[in-house]
Each structure stands twice: as C-alpha cells, then as structure tokens.
C-alpha cells in the first residue's frame, strides 16, 4: 500500500488518480466536486457501476431526485461533518449499491468527494486509511483549481451586475464584454430569485448552499450570483425547447423551498427572455413575485411565475385604495358570519366556484363534493346575499374582495 500511496501522491491529474485508486482497490471509483458534479470515473470497472453511478456519468452530476434522497437520509450532512471515510448503505429506491465515500478537504474547505462502490469484499481498514490519505492529496489539488475558478466566477458576477446596473446600451456591447471574459451568452434564459423572510446569516448560508447544489443538479446550464441577500439563478440554454426553461425554474424553486419547512423562504420566477439586456427586468419580475408572496402569504400565492400572478400582482395597491375608501364587502361579511356560526364553508365554496369560472363540474371536483351539494351551497349564498353570478365584472370584483378578506383576517 505504501508504494501505491507514494505513486498516487506524485500525481496531479484527477483522471489518472481515479484510475490508480480503482486499479489498486479493484473497485469502481467516482470523484466529484463539492457540487456533486462529475470530475472523473474509473473506466476499467465501468461495467460494474450501479444505476445511480450510471445516471451520474450520463448527466455529469447527481440528478435532483438522488440529491434529495441524500439530503433526506442525512448523507449530505455526514459528508460535511465526517473527518474520515464512511459507508453509505444500499438505497434500492435510487439504484445505489453500498459504497465508501470520503470528503476531500484542504484548509478547512470541502472540495469534493471520492466514491468507491463496494463490489465484492468490503474495504479493509488499511484500504480505508489509503483512501483517507489520497482524499487530502486530491483536496489540495482541487483547492488550487478552485481558486482559479473563484476568480473566473467573480468576473462572471461582475459582468451580470453590470447588465443589472444598465451599464450596457446595446447587444453588441454585451457580446463584446462577454467575449472579453470568455462567457457564452445563452439564446434564451429565465431568472429565479431566492431570499429569506428574516435576516439570518445562518439561514441565508443554508439557502445559498442548497440553491447552488440544486441549480447544479438541473439538466440545463445555470449561473448563480448574489445581490445583497438575494440569490439570483440564471437558467439559460441555446438548445432549450418550449417550456423547458420554465419547467426547470419551477423544479428548482419547489425543490429548494421543500428543504426549508417551517422557515420563511421566498422565491420568484421571471418571464423567459432572449435578450440578455432585459436581465434587470427579469430580476424585477421575480422580485415582484416575492413582494406579492410577502403580502398575500406563501399559501395563497397562485404561482411562483410572474406571468401567472394575474390580478394578485395588484392586490397590494388595491388594498391601499380600499383602506383609503374604507371599503368593505358586506356580502362576504355575511357569509363569513354564517360559516362561523353554522360551521359551513360558503366562503371557500364561493372562492373555488369563481376561480373555476363559475362552472359546476370542475368546482365540485375541486371541492370533492356532489354537484347537488354544490348547487345547494350556491343557493344559500344567493339567498343570504345580493350575489348573483350573472356579471363577469362583479364576479372579478368579488374574487378580489375575497382575497382581500383572507389577507386581512
């Protein structure tokens, strides 16, 4: 082992180190960076890779489904806290066989991970010590490479911030500056913005980490940068099909927010665009979603997409006007009182009925009730109030007033 360790310690090429580890241990080996992106794998033993490894090699990174599983089972936390190599048991749901994993560290930084699939006999203590020694060596190599990458990322951040600050007037100026920093401009892109509800460095740090991990796990190219306590993720592509960017943005948003149960984390998604000059406008759209979510509450937000907010984007302005005019919808107050006294659900029935364009069957399906039950409730609403449902304009106003009533409760 000492001779092999000495040999590996003389290597600086990650691919060569991976092949050497695999050849010595006679097992499949994968090396990834700290964002779970593939750096190298042992081609000699590729036929022994399990389904999880095959997905990683194909997509060059862990898919979101596997990354979520690792987070749920505490494996990601263990990777960041365990100073020594440890075993990850078989996880059949994602096609993962048992393996050894070692975090590659240098100067208190985690630079990546070495994964050894335990085909055949388990690794011995001596072999685990060998992996531990190698992990520190590779960590040093990756640290040096990361310093160069950080400088490059800062150039990208500065470039995008210049666009946000309207320093460019034409597409030609943008393309010239992009060429100077060797940065490709996507043909189309969409913006996701994440932020915390209350200022907290710990929560923001966790949000930044998970936004980065899940952004990197998307199938589409992404770039993440920070503006104060706002995390901006640009998802862009030259090959995206219709709706692909929107789907990716929604997948990223829902996945990130699912990691923060009980904590107020906000997100917004811009409209898909082709001109990078409109980056600031995209950012403002995403921030408008976040502003709306803070006003109406996350549970009431109809969508994280700006273009699907509809009248919700105007509710705050309407609220200010109604307060100024001391406006109250008396019909809704009657229904609210009826619900409170008799434990009915007339207000909720009314909201769903209006949201379904006053169609009986879709409303009954959404409420999980029989159409006759729905008709009975609607008759109750008509008898108790002046509501008639025969005018589109008044129906719109009624729906708005319902939202304002919920917000003011």
If one counts every other C-beta atom within 10 angstroms of the C-beta of residue 248, the result is 23
Q: Give the pLDDT score at 393.
A: 92
Buried b (16+ CB within 10 A) or exposed e, 360-383: eeebbeebeeeeeebeebbebbee
Q: Give the pLDDT score at 288.
A: 96
Q: Which helix (H) or strand (E) holds 124?
A: none
pLDDT by 10s per residue, the chain, length 409: 678 888 888 988 999 999 999 989 999 999 999 988 899 998 766 678 888 888 888 778 888 888 899 988 999 999 989 999 999 999 988 888 899 999 999 988 899 999 999 888 899 999 999 999 999 999 999 988 888 777 777 888 888 888 888 888 888 888 888 888 888 888 899 999 999 987 677 788 889 989 999 999 898 989 898 888 899 999 998 877 778 999 999 999 999 999 988 788 999 999 999 998 999 999 999 999 999 999 998 888 999 999 999 999 999 999 999 999 999 999 999 999 999 999 999 999 999 999 999 999 999 999 999 999 999 999 999 999 999 998 999 999 999 999 999 888 7
CA 94 to chain centre: 20
Nearest one of 35, 37, 7, 38 to 21, comparing CA atoms = 7
CA dist 35 → 184, 201, 204, 218, 233 (Å): 21, 21, 18, 12, 15
pTM of full prediction above 0.85:
no
Nearest one of 43, 41, 71 to 255, comparing CA atoms = 71
Nearest one of 97, 124, 104, 126 to 18, comparing CA atoms = 104
If DSSP codes are grouped into helix, strand and coil, which group holds residue 334?
Answer: helix
What does the block give as tokens for 77?
């936390």
């Amino acid at each position: 082992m000492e001779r092999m360790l000495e040999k590996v310690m003389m290597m600086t090429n990650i691919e060569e180190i991976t092949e050497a580890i695999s050849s010595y241990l006679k097992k499949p080996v994968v090396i990834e960076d700290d964002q779970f992106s593939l750096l190298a794998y042992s081609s000699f033993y590729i036929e022994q890779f399990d389904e999880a490894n095959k997905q990683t090699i194909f997509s060059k990174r862990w898919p979101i489904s596997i990354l979520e599983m690792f987070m749920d089972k505490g494996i990601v936390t263990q990777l960041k806290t365990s100073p020594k190599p440890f075993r990850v048991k078989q996880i059949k749901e994602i096609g993962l066989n048992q393996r050894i994993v070692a975090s590659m560290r240098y100067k208190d930084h985690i630079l990546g991970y070495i994964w050894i699939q335990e085909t055949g006999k388990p690794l011995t203590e001596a072999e685990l010590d060998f992996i531990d020694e190698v992990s520190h060596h590779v960590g040093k190599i990756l640290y040096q490479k990361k310093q160069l990458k950080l400088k490059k990322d800062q150039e990208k951040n500065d470039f995008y911030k210049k666009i946000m600050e309207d320093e460019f007037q034409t597409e030609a100026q943008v393309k010239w500056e992009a060429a100077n920093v060797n940065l490709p401009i996507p043909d189309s892109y969409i913006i996701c913005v994440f932020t915390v509800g209350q200022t907290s460095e710990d929560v923001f740090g966790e949000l930044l980490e998970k936004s980065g991990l899940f952004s990197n796990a998307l199938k589409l190219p992404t770039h993440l940068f920070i503006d104060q306590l706002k995390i901006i993720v640009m998802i862009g592509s030259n090959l995206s099909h219709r709706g692909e960017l929107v789907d990716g943005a929604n997948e990223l948003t829902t996945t990130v927010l699912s990691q923060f149960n009980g904590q107020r984390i906000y997100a917004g998604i811009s409209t898909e665009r082709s001109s990078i000059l409109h980056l600031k406008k995209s950012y403002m759209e995403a921030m408008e979603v976040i502003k709306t979510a803070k006003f109406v509450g996350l549970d009431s937000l109809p969508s994280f997409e700006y273009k699907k907010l509809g009248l919700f984007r105007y509710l705050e302005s309407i609220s200010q006007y109604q307060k100024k005019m001391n406006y109250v919808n008396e019909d809704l107050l009657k229904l609210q009182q009826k619900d409170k006294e008799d434990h009915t659900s007339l207000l909720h029935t009314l909201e769903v009925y209006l949201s379904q364009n006053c169609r009986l069957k879709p409303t009954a399906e959404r409420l999980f009730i029989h159409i006759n039950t729905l008709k009975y409730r609607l008759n109750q609403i008509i008898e108790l109030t002046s509501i008639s449902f025969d005018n589109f304009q008044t129906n719109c106003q009624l729906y708005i007033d319902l939202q304002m009533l919920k917000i003011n409760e």
